[in-house]
């Protein structure tokens, strides 16, 4: 079991607190360790939150802003939720300045590109059903209000625990739990409605 503040990076453990201390002490090269450790989750966050084809630019900008803001990073805090808050803000700014919302189809394609969820050897029929389910789920998530969409994205698409989700969104843990519960109920209603239409 690894200690809090340590992340696996390229098969080895990185103590993020120690790395941040090295960067603050004038070793900017040490920051590359954090970039390598968190690029994958940052890209997934940007894509899931709607950055689409701009995801790489959003992540690059987020890492730059995080680097410039390390002086304000609270010692002992987890780096991932803090970074993902910056990624979420950058994504929001990018989406606002671009054409209004990206289409669900574009977001789905970007998610599939970012991380294939089905092995290439899978049965094409099974893969087609899985693709359809994923598209339906993403379309339903897209129809949630912003708070509900965010909490579902952080908790399930980015696989963050309750504490990390609360920190990333800047909400109390009780708020995360109650909004997540309401979001899942709404999602269930949306999905059961879709299934009902499909069998009509």
Handedness of CA 168, 80, 102, 119 (dihedral sign): negative
> Across residues 120-142, what is the average pLDDT?
74
Q: Sketch the domain layout of the chain as residue ranges.
A: 1-115, 119-200
- Topology alike, domains 1-115 and 119-200: no
Confidence of residue 100 (pLDDT cuts 50, 70, 90): very low
Kind and range of the H or E run holding 6: strand 6-9
In this predicted structure, what is the pLDDT of residue 197?
57
> Across residues 43-71, what is the average pLDDT?
91
Class of domain 1-115: mainly alpha
Q: Percent of the chain at pLDDT above 90? A: 36
Listing DSSP states for 92-114 in one string gives HHHHHHSSSSPPHHHHHHHHHHH
Question: pTM here?
Answer: 0.68
Q: Are 38 and 80 in contact (CB under 8 A)?
A: yes
In this predicted structure, what is the pLDDT of residue 181?
93
Residues 77-99 pLDDT 10s:
899 999 999 999 998 888 776 64
> Across residues 95-104, what is the average pLDDT?
57
In this predicted structure, what is the pLDDT of residue 20?
92
Q: Which fold has domain 119-200?
A: Arc Repressor Mutant, subunit A (1.10.10)
């Amino acid at each position: 079991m690894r200690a809090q503040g340590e992340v696996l990076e390229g098969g080895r453990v990185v103590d993020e607190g120690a790395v941040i201390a090295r960067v603050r002490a004038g070793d900017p090269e040490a920051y590359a360790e954090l970039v390598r450790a968190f690029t994958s989750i940052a890209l997934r966050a940007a894509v899931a939150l709607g950055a689409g084809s701009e995801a790489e630019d959003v992540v690059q900008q987020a890492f730059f802003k995080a680097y410039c803001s390390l002086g304000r990073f609270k010692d002992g805090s987890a780096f991932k939720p803090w970074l993902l808050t910056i990624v979420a803000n950058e994504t929001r700014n990018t989406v606002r300045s671009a054409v209004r919302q990206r289409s669900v189809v574009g977001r789905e394609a970007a998610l599939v590109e970012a991380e294939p969820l089905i092995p290439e050897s899978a049965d094409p029929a099974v893969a087609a059903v899985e693709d359809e389910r994923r598209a339906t789920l993403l379309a339903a998530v897209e129809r949630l209000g912003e708070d509900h969409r965010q909490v579902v994205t952080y908790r399930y698409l980015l696989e963050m625990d309750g504490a990390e989700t609360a920190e990333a969104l800047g909400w109390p843990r009780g708020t995360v739990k109650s909004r997540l519960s309401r979001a899942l109920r709404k999602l269930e209603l949306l999905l059961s409605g879709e299934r009902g239409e499909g069998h009509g």
